[in-house]
Amino acid sequence: MNKNITVLKGDGIGPEIVNEAIKVLDKVCEKYSHKFTYTEVDIGGCSIDKYGVPITKEGMEKCKSADSVLLGAVGGPKWDNVDPSIRPEKALLAVRSELGLFANLRPTKLFMQLADSSPLKPSIVGNGIDLMIVRELTGGIYFGKRRTEMLDGEKVATDEMTYSEHEIERIGRVAFETARKRSSRVASVDKANVLDSSRLWRAVMHRLADEYADVEYSDILVDNTAMQLIKNPSQFDVIVTENMFGDILSDEASMLTGSIGMMPSASLSEGTLGMYEPIHGSAPDIAGMDIANPIGTIMSCAMMLRYSFDMPREADAIEAAVNKALDDGYRTADIYKEGFKKVKCSEMGSIIAANI
């Protein structure tokens, strides 16, 4: 099978971790007789330096025409003072919007080899952590109307959280379909005791729950969700929620595993096109030192194979290869502890590729 992947290496450690992910993808192609063609596009600060914009129109078109997009990371202190309209992060919002990436899937899975790195007690993590947060990505308060005005002699700022039924329904369907591939449980997070947008969210989710009778469904308020993720994370399978709640909860969940460098993510459209990236940032303080952890990016490639390319066997192979590397005691600096084998970013990529 031939697939075209647009590669956005970005800034900081982005090029290093993406290079290792491609190394693993190439090994998958070798073993399973696929062909992946890579087209590199500048994004973020490196694009600002070259072209004066965080992503060019030509670069955006290459993203839109691809079968999938692989992203490293963008941004860094070097570009903190550029005009807000062309900040590196603006490119991410633009790509999400242009590609129609409305659904963000962020798995939180504790590799048991790293259980002692979790900040939670062994009695809690011993039950295992394997959940998926499905976050609506293109609506809500981040995309609503906003204004700052003078009222009664002082500034007053307003941000509107707006959702339509069709926006809620389409993200809800992603959650229910995802649950069917996992343990068939969906927890819908809202603030229906306060917000009108959440009451509409809950009503639409209840209609969908009737349609997906084979999936166990529950409602949970966002503040309780934040507590339950710490108290008993193993109770969750799929969590679905709106944009801002999902932003906050997914960052909280990512720390349950002890290392942000291990966590992948996928942003999906209504078709098969998706953008895949680790959840961490560009880490400019360690860029070029070959010490970053590439596993989050490599696991993002496994998600790409599973969700965009319909290659579950190949995705399983990548996940198994990562597990074997950890079983064999290999650790990058962020997850290293005495008694294990400390390896560089490039070495970890080669070890995982060799395990395919």
Per-residue confidence (pLDDT) for residue 77, from 0 to 100: 94
Catalytic (active-site) positions = 142, 191, 223, 247, 251
Q: Which residue spans of the chain are classified as CATH 3.40.718.10?
A: 1-105+260-356, 119-257
Per-residue confidence (pLDDT) for residue 126, from 0 to 100: 83
Per-residue confidence (pLDDT) for residue 125, from 0 to 100: 86
Task: Give the Cβ contact number of residue 151 at 10 Å.
Answer: 7
Task: Kindly indicate whether the domain formed by 1-105+260-356 is annotated with CATH number 3.30.70.1290.
Answer: no
Q: Phi and psi (nearest 5°) for 289?
A: -95, -5
Please state, in angstroms and as integers, the Cα–Cα distance from residue 125 to each residue in 86, 114, 116, 130, 154, following that order: 42, 10, 9, 10, 49
Cβ 110 vs Cβ 121: under 8 Å:
no
Q: What is the DSSP string of 169-189?
A: HHHHHHHHHHHHTTTSEEEEE
Fold of domain 119-257: Isopropylmalate Dehydrogenase (3.40.718)
pTM: 0.90
Cβ 298 vs Cβ 277: under 8 Å:
no
pLDDT tens per residue across all 356 residues of the chain: 899 999 999 999 999 999 999 999 999 999 999 999 999 999 999 999 999 999 999 999 999 999 999 999 999 999 999 998 899 989 988 998 899 999 999 999 998 888 888 888 988 888 889 999 999 999 999 889 999 999 999 999 999 999 999 999 999 999 999 999 899 999 999 999 999 999 999 999 999 999 999 999 999 999 999 999 999 999 999 999 999 999 999 989 988 987 788 899 999 999 889 999 999 999 999 999 999 999 999 999 999 999 999 999 999 999 999 999 999 999 999 999 999 999 999 999 999 999 99
